[in-house]
Structure 1
Amino acid sequence: MSLSTHVLDAGLGRPAEGVPIRLTRSGDPAPALFSAVTDSDGRHRHQDAGKDVPLAAGIYDLTFDTGAYFAASGQSGFYPKVTVTFEITDVTAHHHVPLLLSPFAFSTYRGS
């Protein structure tokens, strides 16, 4: 199983670089499985030493700190964070969770 994300800033028409993200098991008070920031292309792939980090089947929350991103890019937005909750049922598949973001809207879908 591999996990990646891609954040696009629809308001500015470019990748959203530097968005802080966190992955947790949904409803689990344990520390985050990872915390990272999106790269210059607005992407992050959950890896360790260049290898995908396996995740077990279950429900996960991928939280984007959009408030920090908007502040850093000189914008103000309505959503200070966006949490996408998704379920992994096939641990052999790649899971891509993209986020299309603007100051007053967002959307997501299961990517490939």
Structure 2
Amino acid sequence: MSQLSCHVLDNTNGIPASDITVKVFRLGSFECLAEGITGADGRVDFGDTHFAAGNYTLRFLVAPYCEAQFGQVFFPMIDIHFTITDKRHYHIPLLLSPFAFSSYRGS
């Protein structure tokens, strides 16, 4: 079983993005496996949940943050799909700005 964490960085303001709800789903399922809210450091650690090999979705509910920080919402929700293949810790950062986002496999 693998562990998962993520964080959100506000590229526009150069700060961690706090108070963003993040949910984890098995890809194609509507059942939420884990949920957290980014802290002051922009991070969520789903340490109590262990994930088997498979395809998953991290859903970032960014609308309230974007409205508060950018004054508008273009992407109200961002889904990042990824695959867990082996037993390790997976870390997935999200880089956020008003009209763009990107992600990568972190360490």
* Coarse TM-score class (shorter-chain normalised): over 0.9
Instruction: Look up the match of 2:21.
Output: 20
- Could you tell me which amino acid in structure 2 is paired with residue 43 of structure 1? R
Instruction: Look up the match of 1:47.
Output: 47
Once the 2 structures are TM-superposed, how far is the Cα of residue 69 of structure 1 from its aligned partner? 1.6
Q: How many residues align?
A: 106
- How high is the sequence identity, in percent, across the aligned residues? 44
Instruction: Look up the match of 2:73.
Output: 77
Once the 2 structures are TM-superposed, how far is the Cα of residue 40 of structure 1 from its aligned partner? 0.3
Once the 2 structures are TM-superposed, how far is the Cα of residue 35 of structure 1 from its aligned partner? 1.6
Q: Which runs of 5+ in 1 are unaligned?
A: none
2:8–2:94 Cα contact (<8 Å) kept = yes
1:20–1:68 Cα contact (<8 Å) kept = no
Rounded to whole Å, the distance in 2 between the matches of 1:16 and 1:99 is 10
TM-score normalised by L of structure 1? 0.88
Rounded to whole Å, the distance in 1 between the matches of 2:66 and 2:94 is 14
1:3–1:94 Cα contact (<8 Å) kept = yes
Rounded to whole Å, the distance in 2 between the matches of 1:28 and 1:78 is 25
* 2:94 is the alignment partner of 1:93: no
SS for the counterpart of 1:98 is strand
Instruction: Look up the match of 2:103.
Output: 108
SS for the counterpart of 2:32 is coil
Q: Which runs of 5+ in 2 are unaligned?
A: none
- Could you tell me which amino acid in structure 2 is paired with residue 46 of structure 1? F
Rounded to whole Å, the distance in 2 between the matches of 1:62 and 1:25 is 9
Task: Give 4+ residue runs of structure 1 displaced > 6 Å after superposition.
Answer: none
Q: Deviations over 1:19-64 (max 9, x none)?
A: 11110001013x201121100000011023xxxx210111000000
What RMSD in Å do the two structures reach over aligned CA positions?
1.2
2:26–2:56 Cα contact (<8 Å) kept = yes
